[in-house]
Structure 1
Amino acid sequence: MPNTKHCVFLIACGQGYYGAECQQECGHCHDLTQCVHTNGSCLTGCEVGYHGETCQTPCPYGFFGLDCADRCKDTCDGCNRFNGSCDSGCNPGWQGYDCQDACDQGSFGDNCLQKCGHCRDVNQCSNINGTCLTGCDAGYQGDLCKTPCGQGYYGAECQQECGHCHDLTQCVHTNGSCLTGCEVGYHGETCQIPCPYGFFGLDCADRCKDTCDGCNRFNGSCDSGCNPGWQGYDCQDACDQGSFGDNCLQKCGHCRDVNQCSNINGTCLTGCDAGYQGDLCKTPCDQGSFGDNCLQKCGHCRDVNQCSNINGTCLTGCDAGYQGDLCKTPCGQGYYGAECQQECGHCHDLTQCVHTNGSCLTGCEVGYHGETCQIHSMVLVILGVTLDGRDMTAKMLAHTDSLDWIVLTDVKTPAMVVTDSMVLVILGVTLDGRDMTAKMHVVKDIMVLNVNKNVDTVMT
């Protein structure tokens, strides 16, 4: 049998097809004539909206255009893969046909349908997710500032603790106000202020006792002590009689009536005992005064510092010339000096004897001299003069202290006669015509007496 050869003619796939038996359809080639009939590759690229070697894959989310080389707008929720239009809607936070507009102020999210929370600045509410970019208004917390502060807290970032509210659930989370009032012992809108001095109780509406030094702000007890002048657990008792002041530790002064010593400040309400002065009656009278209200003047005390401030008694005695406890009484007539023990001399007028020093203001009686008239004078009576040989004799009568008269005879010159009160020295006797003269020297007074005539009186 002869050898027969068969010829096979191969024909390429038609336009738009490729692969085994040309059963596969070419993708979205930019030019179908450029679709490789063996593997479907698009030699000149893909139509708009597709990509891949065979141009059968639509653009992925967020891309569009020739070879899907273009990115959709960020504001679009994806986009049309052919022309990039936002026909599938906007991303959260955006609105408008082309998603070109942010949500209106105060809204955010999908289709701008959500409302912003309590942002500190509403312009700083994220249009996308509602986050408050600069924080929350007082009283709110969280990213969206929609959550009120937890119980017991309020204010910016919920950092402030509520005060002593009567009911913590009634503490306003924005400003801390206590809607139902404060606990006992506190007051103020936020109940954070303790009761002021002198007040206590609910909303600090009650006054402490006047006798308390403040009081316990919760129950009003006097646990911080008493005001001056009061004592006892509840400061209900005045200080004991005779004491006053803080803790009743001070002693009253010399009050005229101890029951009238102020328990608060020690003032003697009805005045002082004799000898004291001042509101507290603790100050003795000034030097030189005594008695009620220190109005009386001390007498002639020997030492003015020793005048009793109470009754004026001179404790160390009187000045010369005064007597009595108060040393205000002059010595009686005829006496003078310390304790009026000295007797006045022979004053011409005893009523004129100075009671302090015994001076006789109107002079002395006859026979006396000196300031106090206590010195006796000598009275010499010359009886006569005779010759006795060569010597002369003077006969004299001397009046002595004892008032006795003695006759001195046969006194030769010069001679000395001594009496109780003085010494006489007779210097000599001479004739002077018919009269005799006796010259005598009085030793005590150092003076010369010239006695003339036979009978004469000489006072010394």
Structure 2
Amino acid sequence: MLCSSCNSGYWGEFCDRKCEYSCPNTCNKISAECTSCSYKTFGSFCEQTCSKTCSGNCVRQSGKCYSCLQGYWGTFCENSCNKSCEGGCDRYSGVCSRCLSSYWGPSCSYTCSQNCMLKRCDKNTGKCGSCAHGRWGELCEATCSLQCNGNCNRETGVCLSCNEGYWGQYCKYKCEPGCNDNCDKTSGYCKFCLSGSWGNYCERNCSCDCSRNNGQCESCISGYWGVSCLQKCHKNCESGCYQTLGECVDCKDGTWGINCTNLCPLNCASNCDDRSGECMSCHNRYWGPKCEKECNNTCEICHQETGKCLMCMKSKWGDQCKADCPNKCKEQCDIATGKCETCLQGYWGDQCQFQCGHHNCKKCNTSTGECESCFEGKWGENCDKDCADHCLLGCVKTNGTCFACEAGYWGPSCNVICRIENCSTCSQNTGLCETCILSRWGETCDISCSERCRHGCNFTTGKCNGCKIGYWGNICENECPSLKCEICQQQIGVCSVCQTGYWGIKCERQCNQCLRCDTKEGYCTSCHKGRWGLSCENECEESCVCCGISSGACERCPVVSLKGNGTNVDLAFHLDSKIGLITIVIAATISAVATVTTTVLVMVCFYQRISRKLAGSTKEKQSSQTEMTEFSTDSMGNHPYQILSEHPVTPT
């Protein structure tokens, strides 16, 4: 029996045949064609796949894309848009909607001209929007004139302005030399001329700063005058002269007149008027328009116009300084009234005619005579009272309060003994201790300083003011690092002074052949007789007993004094290093004994000098030099004498 319709997925007269597996739902009962297709498939039996560049489904019968993915075009979206397209292209023609920068054309396949500003041009025509600096034309293919100042017109190439010194549409004409490279762009006329030239092109010369239009002098250079500025001003003119008449503008110092040919009067203190010759001011003791009159002989300075005295000589006053100041004036008196400016010590009054009221008054008021200050040790209205016995620097005039107290006293009158037994000085106001006697510290000076302190200790902290030899620390509690160390730094314990013959941080190194050496570096600061150099490695010249440690030059040996016990024996000797003489002076005084017997032994240094003369063999010298070299290498290090020891100076 024939079926009128089939279940989903079957077809045929009897619905006994299955639809193709590619049909997503069902198929036609008669033809078996799929009634619909799955996403991105097409064909009668949905057996084909839509193009990958379709942005969605395609037409069921033909496979044509309904729309394309961005960057593709064509019926089946089989074509790629040009890479220079921006924002895709037309689905059917492939024409770009817009181009990337620097490209143009339907498919953005053309490159904009490099002369376009930022390489940007019109998408359809390729014309530049604007040109790069110095270019013009539709495609900016033409170059502006080199003398254009900036750009030129895009359409015509005409310069907008010219470089300095050029003119014309294309700035190809040079300005005339007289224009100083500044002329009108259109006409070439000079905008202004240099001094000494005139005319439209400044092509004509003049000998002055003349008019641009007619060449007539407008002003002359300094030192000249006249219509053509050819005449010289007088040599005494200070700032040139007037162009019309040649008169000096002003004169050099010390001259006056139309041409400054006259000399100022001899007694003018500064300058004189350029036209009248009258003095601006006079030397002391002269007056008048030209300082031709002499002031009164007791007048120091007088008024230039009236001759009235303005300042008198010492001890004089009045209009003509003829009156004498009172004899008790200290220096000068008022020129108008004769009143003393200051009085001699012990006097007062307008003319210092009164004596201060008490002989202990150091200074009294000039107007009232009242005592203002007393001599040290006195106080009171008339300075007739004595300051307290233990006052220092005197006391206050009005109440006798001491300015300061002697050590051990306090109070307004310094009459109270300091409260604390071991106090050296105490506060004048409170009596509390301010400093203790040596070897004590603390508020009440009841604490003893360390026995190892050298100069007592700090009043507040007890810290030693220096340590005794061999100790260091705040209270000198530590021993110096070596017995050879005489003095070490109080804060860190490093040796600063070593025993003679030693050096180093702990005075652990010997000075070798030096008599004395530098504590830090070890170089010699003193040698035995007959040696010199920073390591005492050199011998003095044979004729020398003593020579300089740094130069080797012969020197006078030091004077030595010896004193005996019970008898006072002074032995003094001088060694003259050049002639080798020894002068011995012996002075002996023996109490109650008339006979003096003195035996003088020949000195060791003299013996050494003779020995060097007799036995100065080459072998000994080489041996000595070897020993010095070993010392330098082993213990000297880098010290300031190293250069000297490498290049010893040969004494002359």
- Interval containing the TM-score (normalised by the shorter chain): 0.3 to 0.5
Higher relative contact order (CA 8 A, sep 6+): 1
The TM-score normalised by the length of structure 2 is: 0.26
The TM-score normalised by the length of structure 1 is: 0.33
Between Structure 1 and Structure 2, the one with more strand by share is 1
Q: In terms of Rg, which structure is larger? A: 1
